[in-house]
Amino acid sequence: MKGTTDVLVKRLVQDDEALKAYCCMTEVPNPWPKALCECRDWVAENLGKHVEGYHVQLGEGDVIGHLYYALSEQALFSYQVEPGVAVLYCEWVQQRYQKRGFGARLFETFLRDLKQDNAKGVLVEATDIQGQMYYGHYSSRGFEIVHESGHHKLLFLPLSAKEVAFRRREPRIQPRRGLPVEIYLFQGFLCPYEVSTQLLVREVAQEFGNQVKIQEIWLTPETLDRYGVPSGVLINGQQKLAGGETERAVRQAIMEEL
Protein backbone atom coordinates (compact mmCIF):
# COMPACT_ATOMS: atom_id res chain seq x y z
CA MET A 1 0.00 0.00 0.00
CA LYS A 2 1.14 3.51 -0.71
CA GLY A 3 2.26 5.83 2.05
CA THR A 4 1.20 9.43 2.52
CA THR A 5 4.38 10.67 0.76
CA ASP A 6 3.11 9.10 -2.48
CA VAL A 7 -0.12 11.12 -2.44
CA LEU A 8 -0.85 14.55 -3.88
CA VAL A 9 -3.92 16.72 -3.29
CA LYS A 10 -4.41 18.56 -6.56
CA ARG A 11 -6.87 21.29 -7.48
CA LEU A 12 -8.74 20.76 -10.75
CA VAL A 13 -7.64 23.36 -13.29
CA GLN A 14 -7.82 21.81 -16.75
CA ASP A 15 -10.88 20.31 -18.42
CA ASP A 16 -9.18 16.99 -19.15
CA GLU A 17 -8.75 16.38 -15.40
CA ALA A 18 -12.48 15.67 -15.36
CA LEU A 19 -11.69 12.40 -17.16
CA LYS A 20 -10.69 11.03 -13.74
CA ALA A 21 -13.62 12.52 -11.82
CA TYR A 22 -15.86 10.45 -9.54
CA CYS A 23 -13.38 8.01 -8.07
CA CYS A 24 -16.34 6.59 -6.12
CA MET A 25 -17.30 4.87 -9.38
CA THR A 26 -13.89 3.33 -10.05
CA GLU A 27 -13.12 1.45 -6.84
CA VAL A 28 -15.47 -1.38 -7.86
CA PRO A 29 -16.67 -2.58 -11.28
CA ASN A 30 -18.78 0.34 -12.45
CA PRO A 31 -22.43 -0.66 -13.13
CA TRP A 32 -23.19 2.68 -14.84
CA PRO A 33 -20.41 3.48 -17.37
CA LYS A 34 -22.63 5.70 -19.55
CA ALA A 35 -23.78 7.70 -16.54
CA LEU A 36 -20.18 8.17 -15.44
CA CYS A 37 -19.21 9.50 -18.87
CA GLU A 38 -22.08 12.02 -18.84
CA CYS A 39 -21.06 13.25 -15.40
CA ARG A 40 -17.43 13.67 -16.36
CA ASP A 41 -18.45 15.59 -19.48
CA TRP A 42 -20.53 17.93 -17.32
CA VAL A 43 -17.63 18.61 -14.96
CA ALA A 44 -15.33 19.37 -17.90
CA GLU A 45 -17.87 21.80 -19.38
CA ASN A 46 -18.64 23.57 -16.10
CA LEU A 47 -15.28 23.55 -14.32
CA GLY A 48 -14.53 26.98 -12.90
CA LYS A 49 -18.19 27.99 -12.98
CA HIS A 50 -20.79 25.65 -11.47
CA VAL A 51 -18.20 23.25 -10.06
CA GLU A 52 -14.68 23.44 -8.59
CA GLY A 53 -12.77 20.57 -7.14
CA TYR A 54 -9.78 18.71 -5.78
CA HIS A 55 -8.50 15.20 -6.41
CA VAL A 56 -6.40 13.00 -4.17
CA GLN A 57 -3.93 11.46 -6.58
CA LEU A 58 -1.39 8.69 -6.21
CA GLY A 59 2.09 9.14 -7.61
CA GLU A 60 1.25 7.16 -10.75
CA GLY A 61 -1.78 9.36 -11.42
CA ASP A 62 -4.65 7.24 -10.08
CA VAL A 63 -7.34 9.33 -8.37
CA ILE A 64 -8.45 7.85 -5.03
CA GLY A 65 -10.38 10.78 -3.54
CA HIS A 66 -12.36 13.81 -4.60
CA LEU A 67 -14.03 16.95 -3.26
CA TYR A 68 -16.38 18.99 -5.47
CA TYR A 69 -17.91 22.35 -4.58
CA ALA A 70 -18.98 25.72 -6.00
CA LEU A 71 -19.21 29.25 -4.69
CA SER A 72 -22.71 30.21 -3.68
CA GLU A 73 -23.10 32.69 -6.55
CA GLN A 74 -22.98 29.79 -9.05
CA ALA A 75 -23.86 26.76 -6.94
CA LEU A 76 -26.64 24.46 -8.15
CA PHE A 77 -28.10 23.85 -4.74
CA SER A 78 -31.27 23.29 -2.74
CA TYR A 79 -30.84 26.67 -1.04
CA GLN A 80 -30.42 30.29 -2.07
CA VAL A 81 -27.28 31.48 -0.28
CA GLU A 82 -25.64 34.86 0.16
CA PRO A 83 -22.46 35.50 -1.90
CA GLY A 84 -19.02 34.44 -0.72
CA VAL A 85 -19.89 31.03 0.72
CA ALA A 86 -18.51 27.69 -0.51
CA VAL A 87 -21.16 25.02 -1.15
CA LEU A 88 -19.70 21.54 -0.74
CA TYR A 89 -21.35 19.13 -3.19
CA CYS A 90 -19.61 15.82 -2.70
CA GLU A 91 -16.58 14.38 -0.92
CA TRP A 92 -15.20 10.85 -1.03
CA VAL A 93 -12.07 8.78 -0.46
CA GLN A 94 -12.04 5.23 -1.77
CA GLN A 95 -12.75 2.76 1.00
CA ARG A 96 -9.40 0.95 0.85
CA TYR A 97 -7.65 4.31 1.44
CA GLN A 98 -9.91 5.55 4.22
CA LYS A 99 -8.64 6.10 7.79
CA ARG A 100 -5.15 6.91 6.53
CA GLY A 101 -5.32 10.70 6.73
CA PHE A 102 -6.03 11.34 3.03
CA GLY A 103 -9.51 12.73 3.65
CA ALA A 104 -8.14 15.10 6.28
CA ARG A 105 -5.45 16.34 3.90
CA LEU A 106 -8.03 16.84 1.17
CA PHE A 107 -10.33 18.88 3.41
CA GLU A 108 -7.49 20.90 4.96
CA THR A 109 -6.27 21.90 1.48
CA PHE A 110 -9.79 22.96 0.57
CA LEU A 111 -10.13 25.07 3.74
CA ARG A 112 -6.69 26.63 3.32
CA ASP A 113 -7.56 27.89 -0.14
CA LEU A 114 -10.95 29.19 1.01
CA LYS A 115 -9.33 31.13 3.84
CA GLN A 116 -6.86 32.68 1.43
CA ASP A 117 -9.83 33.84 -0.66
CA ASN A 118 -11.58 35.19 2.48
CA ALA A 119 -14.61 32.92 2.05
CA LYS A 120 -17.33 33.40 4.64
CA GLY A 121 -17.68 29.69 5.34
CA VAL A 122 -18.75 26.31 4.00
CA LEU A 123 -22.27 24.94 3.63
CA VAL A 124 -23.02 21.28 3.03
CA GLU A 125 -26.33 19.46 2.65
CA ALA A 126 -25.70 16.14 4.38
CA THR A 127 -27.92 13.17 5.21
CA ASP A 128 -28.64 11.01 8.24
CA ILE A 129 -27.67 7.93 6.20
CA GLN A 130 -24.26 6.38 6.85
CA GLY A 131 -22.04 6.43 3.77
CA GLN A 132 -24.08 9.11 1.93
CA MET A 133 -22.56 12.45 2.96
CA TYR A 134 -23.34 11.54 6.58
CA TYR A 135 -23.89 14.63 8.72
CA GLY A 136 -21.96 13.22 11.69
CA HIS A 137 -18.79 13.32 9.59
CA TYR A 138 -19.18 17.09 9.27
CA SER A 139 -20.30 17.70 12.85
CA SER A 140 -16.99 16.19 13.99
CA ARG A 141 -15.18 18.84 11.90
CA GLY A 142 -16.92 21.75 13.57
CA PHE A 143 -19.92 22.17 11.26
CA GLU A 144 -23.21 23.08 12.95
CA ILE A 145 -26.70 22.13 11.79
CA VAL A 146 -28.58 25.23 10.64
CA HIS A 147 -31.59 23.61 8.94
CA GLU A 148 -33.24 20.19 8.68
CA SER A 149 -35.63 18.74 6.10
CA GLY A 150 -36.52 15.05 6.12
CA HIS A 151 -33.36 12.95 5.91
CA HIS A 152 -31.33 16.02 4.92
CA LYS A 153 -29.48 18.43 7.18
CA LEU A 154 -27.84 21.71 6.19
CA LEU A 155 -24.61 22.35 8.08
CA PHE A 156 -22.39 25.43 8.20
CA LEU A 157 -18.70 25.84 9.06
CA PRO A 158 -17.86 29.50 9.72
CA LEU A 159 -14.63 30.96 8.36
CA SER A 160 -14.57 34.77 7.97
CA ALA A 161 -18.24 35.11 9.01
CA LYS A 162 -20.03 33.65 12.01
CA GLU A 163 -23.38 33.23 10.26
CA VAL A 164 -24.74 32.80 6.75
CA ALA A 165 -28.01 33.94 5.19
CA PHE A 166 -29.88 31.25 3.25
CA ARG A 167 -33.37 30.24 2.17
CA ARG A 168 -34.54 26.81 1.12
CA ARG A 169 -35.88 26.62 -2.42
CA GLU A 170 -39.45 25.33 -2.65
CA PRO A 171 -40.48 23.20 -5.65
CA ARG A 172 -42.71 25.16 -8.02
CA ILE A 173 -44.01 22.09 -9.88
CA GLN A 174 -47.26 21.05 -8.26
CA PRO A 175 -48.22 17.39 -7.83
CA ARG A 176 -50.88 16.29 -10.31
CA ARG A 177 -52.73 13.26 -11.61
CA GLY A 178 -53.85 12.29 -15.08
CA LEU A 179 -52.43 11.77 -18.55
CA PRO A 180 -50.02 12.28 -20.01
CA VAL A 181 -47.71 11.48 -17.10
CA GLU A 182 -45.28 14.41 -16.88
CA ILE A 183 -41.68 13.57 -16.04
CA TYR A 184 -39.09 16.25 -15.36
CA LEU A 185 -35.41 15.28 -15.45
CA PHE A 186 -33.27 17.88 -13.67
CA GLN A 187 -29.65 17.78 -14.73
CA GLY A 188 -26.93 19.91 -13.20
CA PHE A 189 -24.21 18.92 -10.78
CA LEU A 190 -24.43 15.38 -12.00
CA CYS A 191 -23.98 12.36 -9.78
CA PRO A 192 -23.59 8.99 -11.56
CA TYR A 193 -25.93 7.47 -8.99
CA GLU A 194 -28.71 9.87 -10.05
CA VAL A 195 -27.87 9.91 -13.75
CA SER A 196 -28.15 6.12 -13.95
CA THR A 197 -31.82 6.50 -13.05
CA GLN A 198 -32.34 9.34 -15.52
CA LEU A 199 -30.99 7.18 -18.32
CA LEU A 200 -33.36 4.38 -17.37
CA VAL A 201 -36.30 6.78 -17.23
CA ARG A 202 -35.61 7.95 -20.80
CA GLU A 203 -35.48 4.33 -21.98
CA VAL A 204 -38.48 2.97 -20.08
CA ALA A 205 -40.69 5.97 -20.89
CA GLN A 206 -40.59 5.04 -24.57
CA GLU A 207 -42.62 1.93 -23.78
CA PHE A 208 -45.62 4.09 -22.86
CA GLY A 209 -45.74 6.18 -26.04
CA ASN A 210 -47.73 9.39 -25.80
CA GLN A 211 -48.98 8.50 -22.31
CA VAL A 212 -45.69 9.82 -20.91
CA LYS A 213 -44.11 13.20 -21.61
CA ILE A 214 -40.51 13.96 -20.61
CA GLN A 215 -38.98 17.38 -20.10
CA GLU A 216 -35.22 17.62 -19.52
CA ILE A 217 -34.12 20.73 -17.64
CA TRP A 218 -30.46 21.73 -17.60
CA LEU A 219 -29.92 23.45 -14.29
CA THR A 220 -28.64 27.00 -14.07
CA PRO A 221 -29.25 29.62 -11.38
CA GLU A 222 -32.10 30.84 -13.59
CA THR A 223 -33.84 27.48 -13.95
CA LEU A 224 -33.34 26.84 -10.24
CA ASP A 225 -35.27 30.02 -9.51
CA ARG A 226 -37.94 29.01 -12.00
CA TYR A 227 -38.53 25.43 -10.84
CA GLY A 228 -37.10 25.36 -7.31
CA VAL A 229 -35.71 21.84 -7.87
CA PRO A 230 -31.94 21.23 -7.80
CA SER A 231 -31.75 17.65 -9.10
CA GLY A 232 -33.48 14.34 -9.61
CA VAL A 233 -36.59 12.98 -11.31
CA LEU A 234 -40.11 14.32 -10.77
CA ILE A 235 -43.06 12.20 -11.93
CA ASN A 236 -46.29 14.20 -11.99
CA GLY A 237 -44.66 16.63 -9.59
CA GLN A 238 -43.48 13.99 -7.10
CA GLN A 239 -39.88 13.03 -6.33
CA LYS A 240 -40.36 9.28 -6.56
CA LEU A 241 -36.89 8.19 -7.70
CA ALA A 242 -33.72 9.10 -5.83
CA GLY A 243 -31.02 7.33 -7.84
CA GLY A 244 -29.61 3.89 -8.46
CA GLU A 245 -33.01 2.29 -9.08
CA THR A 246 -33.52 -0.82 -11.18
CA GLU A 247 -35.41 -0.84 -14.49
CA ARG A 248 -38.28 -2.58 -12.72
CA ALA A 249 -38.50 0.14 -10.06
CA VAL A 250 -38.50 2.88 -12.71
CA ARG A 251 -41.28 1.15 -14.66
CA GLN A 252 -43.33 0.69 -11.50
CA ALA A 253 -42.96 4.37 -10.55
CA ILE A 254 -44.35 5.41 -13.93
CA MET A 255 -47.15 2.81 -13.94
CA GLU A 256 -48.38 4.06 -10.57
CA GLU A 257 -49.27 7.34 -12.25
CA LEU A 258 -51.09 5.84 -15.24
Q: What is the pLDDT of residues 75-126, one digit of tens each?
A: 999 999 999 999 999 999 999 999 999 999 999 999 999 999 999 999 999 9
CA gap 237, 170 in Å, rounded: 12
How many residues comprise the chain?
258
Identify the band that residue 3 occupies on the pLDDT scale cut at 50, 70 and 90.
very low
Name the CA dihedral angle for 49, 51, 54, 55, rounded to a multiple of 10 degrees.
-120
Identify the band that residue 5 occupies on the pLDDT scale cut at 50, 70 and 90.
low
CA gap 156, 210 in Å, rounded: 45
Instruction: Give the CATH superfamily of 4-168.
Output: Gcn5-related N-acetyltransferase (GNAT) (3.40.630.30)
Per-residue pLDDT reduced to its tens digit, 216-258: 998 888 999 999 988 889 999 998 888 889 999 999 999 999 8
Report the mean per-residue pLDDT for the chain. Answer: 92
Quick one: pLDDT at residue 189?
66
pLDDT(49) > 80: yes
Percent of the chain with pLDDT over 90: 79
Quick one: pLDDT at residue 15?
92
Domain positions in the chain are 4-168, 181-255
Q: Quick one: average pLDDT of 64-72?
A: 97
Tell me which amino acid residue 31 is: P
Q: Quick one: average pLDDT of 127-143?
A: 91
pLDDT(184) > 80: yes
pLDDT(205) > 90: yes
- Distances in whole angstroms, Cα of residue 169 to Cα of each of 3, 75, 83, 85, 160: 44, 13, 16, 17, 25
Quick one: pLDDT at residue 129?
85
Q: Quick one: average pLDDT of 53-73?
A: 95
Instruction: Give the CATH superfamily of 181-255.
Output: Glutaredoxin (3.40.30.10)
- Of 250, 209, 251, whose CA–CA distance to 232 is shortest? 250
In angstroms, the first-to-last Cα distance of the chain is 54
